[in-house]
């Protein structure tokens, strides 16, 4: 029984270490993305709008069109 517990503990430690490495990579990627937005902003682009474009491009076309239609509907309901 102790061998099994040792194997499970080793496997758990391996999973934790892999997750920690991936979290470090994720943080590095997030830092890189922030730098790209800052560079774009320095070139005169609006980072907030760029984020919206990136988010919209991830959506399926139908979903994006539905959101745009709802936005237009809500805007017309509340006025300019």
Q: What percent of the chain has pLDDT over 70?
A: 98
Distances (CA, A) of 58 to 5, 13, 53, 62, 70: 44, 35, 9, 12, 18
Domains of the chain, residue spans? 1-45, 46-80
- CA atoms within 13 Å, Cβ hemisphere of 51: 8
Mean pLDDT value of segment 10-18: 96
pTM of this structure? 0.72
Mean pLDDT value of segment 20-31: 98
pLDDT band at 7 (very low <50, low <70, confident <90, very high): confident
Mean pLDDT value of segment 43-68: 96
**Has residue 1 got a pLDDT over 90?**
no
User: Mind giving me the DSSP string for 4-60?
Assistant: HHHHHHHHHHHHHHHHHHHHHHHHHHHHHHHHHHHHHHHTT--HHHHHHHHHHHHS-
């Amino acid at each position: 029984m102790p061998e099994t517990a040792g194997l499970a503990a080793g496997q758990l430690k391996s999973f934790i270490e892999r997750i920690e490495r991936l979290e470090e990579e994720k943080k590095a990627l997030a830092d890189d993305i922030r730098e790209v937005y800052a560079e774009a902003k320095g070139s005169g682009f609006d980072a907030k709008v760029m984020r919206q474009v990136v988010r919209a491009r991830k959506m399926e076309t139908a979903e994006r069109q539905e959101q745009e239609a709802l936005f237009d509907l809500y805007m017309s309901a509340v006025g300019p």
